[in-house]
Amino acid sequence: MSIWSMMLREIAYRKGNFLLGLAGIAAAVALLVGVLMGLQLHAARSDGLVSRKEEETKAVMVDLRADLKQAMQRLGYNALVLPKDQSLGDWYAEDFGALTMPESWALRLEDAQELIDRYLPRLRRKLKWEERQWTILLVGVGQERVLDTSVAEGAPLTPAIPPDGCVVGYELHHALGLQPGQEITVLGRVFRIDRCEQELGTKDDISLWIPLAAAQQLLDQPGAINEILVVEHLSVWGNLAEVRRRMAAVLPDCQVVEIASETLSRAHARIKVAEEARAAVEQENEKRALLQAERRSAITRLGPLGFLACAVWIGILMYLNVRERAAEIGVLRAIGFRAGDVRTLVLSKAGLLGLAGGLAGFALGTTAAMLLEVRDQAGTAMGWAVALEHLGLAAAMGIAACLLGSWLPARVAAALDPADILHEP
């Protein structure tokens, strides 16, 4: 009779001992496989959820960026550069700055692409329009320069004014009956009305816009401006302290005033919400990474502990089995079995037990992980794919634990003296 036949007959005869060993191996392997699979499936599911959240956040940011560009295209500039010594109290009270600065200073902003999107130099004065006996704001408008389009769209915020043209505010053209195409005289110079503005309810309603060169000539201030309108770059948009700090490096003799508006505040609030959503995704990634690290730490402790516990359990069962079969082993030795054959018999049984326990534990652990972590058909397919990665590990762990636990009992069995055993009553 071969060793394998004897081993199978012994297993069939002593089912209880084999089933106890099988249960111990299966439990240890199931725990390890279940935790490993659960960790991978949870990570995959979390990755999917976070990826979808990131895509949603990106879509929201794209929509917000588009909305912001459209809003800024309507609202115009959101900051103003004034001479450093200009009193803001006087500027607010008079609606213009008395101090001027060289027009060439505006050109320094050409190298500030990451600070501003665009700029527009102007010369603005409040004066008496003698020809019409009106107090107006005369605004000389320079050339708008677009450096970037991070906030507004590429179209000009301020349409160009023809060399001898002008733009008339609502209150002026409404009260004086002015129409586009009509010629008017301002401080002795004739301008043709290019367009008439709609009512805004601001000081712009009593403003008259003309080319910057014409304003400098009329006001006898060649090459001078008293303000630069700017659109802040999106990276610093709404961060006035940062804008002022960086602007000081470009125009040290100037100061920055932010033009506030309710609409801009709402747009800024929407951007803040989007940034908070993005921060929430990042926080979720950090939490998920922490959870993964904790689970991996648990596995590094659980794996060796389960393996050793399993080996000890099998060692105890195998030792008891060897003691119970001492007479049988003595007979086998007496009829010609060598010590190596006895050792092979014990270890072969342990290997078979480990293989069966590993496969049973794999089935139990896989089933438990699938029930806990799988939510849909796609998850089921992924679950089986992940499970197959652990099949070899489950079988190897079961066999290794059983062989390790059975090594000493196998040596004890091989060392039994048949003469001593058979002489026992």
242 contact partners, CB below 8 Å, separation of at least 6: 236
Task: Give domain status of residue 370, yes or no.
Answer: yes
Average pLDDT over residues 400-412: 86
Shared domain for 353 and 417, answered yes or no, is yes
Shared domain for 295 and 221, answered yes or no, is no
Shared domain for 225 and 151, answered yes or no, is yes
Task: Give domain status of residue 328, yes or no.
Answer: yes
Integer Cα distance of 216 and 139 in angstroms: 10
Show which of 189, 223, 258 is a domain's final residue: 258
Q: pLDDT tens-digit profile of 30-50? A: 888 877 777 777 777 776 666
Show which of 258, 290, 315 is a domain's final residue: 258
Shared domain for 304 and 218, answered yes or no, is no
Maximum average pLDDT range among 41-50, 91-100, 368-377, 389-398: 91-100
Shared domain for 241 and 127, answered yes or no, is yes
Average pLDDT over residues 314-340: 77
- Please report, for residues 72, 124, 128, 200, 216, the alpha-carbon distance to residue 132 in angstroms, rounded to integers and kept in the order given: 34, 19, 9, 22, 21
Task: Give domain status of residue 71, yes or no.
Answer: no
Residue of higher predicted confidence among 418 and 216: 216
Shared domain for 84 and 200, answered yes or no, is yes
Task: Tell me what percent of the residues of the chain surpass a pLDDT of 70.
Answer: 80
Structural domain span for residue 313: 3-59+274-423
Give the pLDDT of residue 174.
Answer: 94
Is the pLDDT confidence value at 402 over 70?
Answer: yes
Task: Give domain status of residue 368, yes or no.
Answer: yes
Task: Give domain status of residue 268, yes or no.
Answer: no
Number of domains in the chain: 2
Shared domain for 303 and 373, answered yes or no, is yes
Give the pLDDT of residue 182.
Answer: 95
Q: pLDDT tens-digit profile of 170-214? A: 999 999 999 999 999 999 999 999 999 999 888 999 999 999 999
313 contact partners, CB below 8 Å, separation of at least 6: 21, 24, 405
Task: Give domain status of residue 67, yes or no.
Answer: no
Shared domain for 115 and 141, answered yes or no, is yes
What average pLDDT is seen over the chain? 81
- Read off the pLDDT band of 321 (50, 70, 90): confident
Show which of 203, 233, 258 is a domain's final residue: 258
Integer Cα distance of 57 and 51 in angstroms: 10
Task: Give domain status of residue 355, yes or no.
Answer: yes
Shared domain for 44 and 135, answered yes or no, is no
Buried b (16+ CB within 10 A) or exposed e, 399-422: bbbbbbbbbebbebbbebebeebe
- Please report, for residues 24, 311, 337, 406, 424, the alpha-carbon distance to residue 320 in angstroms, rounded to integers and kept in the order given: 15, 14, 21, 11, 18
Give the pLDDT of residue 265.
Answer: 58
390 contact partners, CB below 8 Å, separation of at least 6: 33, 36, 37, 362, 365, 366
Shared domain for 46 and 138, answered yes or no, is no
Is the pLDDT confidence value at 419 over 60?
Answer: yes
Shared domain for 253 and 146, answered yes or no, is yes
Q: Which of 209, 212, 236, 413 is nearest to 328 (CA)?
A: 413
Task: Give domain status of residue 68, yes or no.
Answer: no
Shared domain for 278 and 254, answered yes or no, is no
